[in-house]
Amino acid sequence: MSDFRADLHCHSTCSDGSDDPSTLLYKAKEIGLSGLSITDHDSIAAYTDELFALAGSLGVRLLPGVELSSTWKDQTVHVLGYGFAIDSPVLSSLIAEIQSKRKQRNRLMLEKLKEHGIAITEDELMRASPFAHVIGRPHIASLMVQKGFVATFQQAFDGFLSDGAPCYVPGFKLEPQEVIGAIQSAKGKAVLAHPHLAKDKKLIKEILNMPFDGIECYYGNLQKSFTMPWVELAKKKGWIATGGSDYHGAFKPHILLGASWVGKDVFEQLM
> Contact residues for ligand AMP (CB under 6 A)?
136-138, 154, 157, 162, 171
Q: How near is the Cβ of 165 to ligand AMP at its closest, in Å?
A: 8
57 binds, among ligand AMP, Zn ion, Fe ion, none (CB under 5 to 8 A by kind): none
Is the Cβ of residue 154 or residue 221 nearer to ligand AMP in the bound state?
Answer: 154
Is the Cβ of residue 13 or residue 34 nearer to Fe ion in the bound state?
Answer: 13
Is the Cβ of residue 5 or residue 139 nearer to Fe ion in the bound state?
Answer: 139
Residue 78 contacts Fe ion per CB under 5 A: yes
Rounded CA-CA distance 271/262 in Å is 13
Nearest position to ligand AMP, beta carbon:
136
Is the Cβ of residue 52 or residue 168 nearer to Fe ion in the bound state?
Answer: 168
137 binds, among Fe ion, Zn ion, ligand AMP, none (CB under 5 to 8 A by kind): ligand AMP
Residue 42 contacts Fe ion per CB under 5 A: no
Q: How near is the Cβ of 265 to ligand AMP at its closest, in Å?
A: 31
162 binds, among ligand AMP, Zn ion, Fe ion, none (CB under 5 to 8 A by kind): ligand AMP
Q: How near is the Cβ of 79 to Fe ion at its closest, in Å?
A: 9
Is the Cβ of residue 75 or residue 185 nearer to ligand AMP in the bound state?
Answer: 75
Q: Which residues bind Fe ion (CB under 5 A)?
A: 16, 78, 193
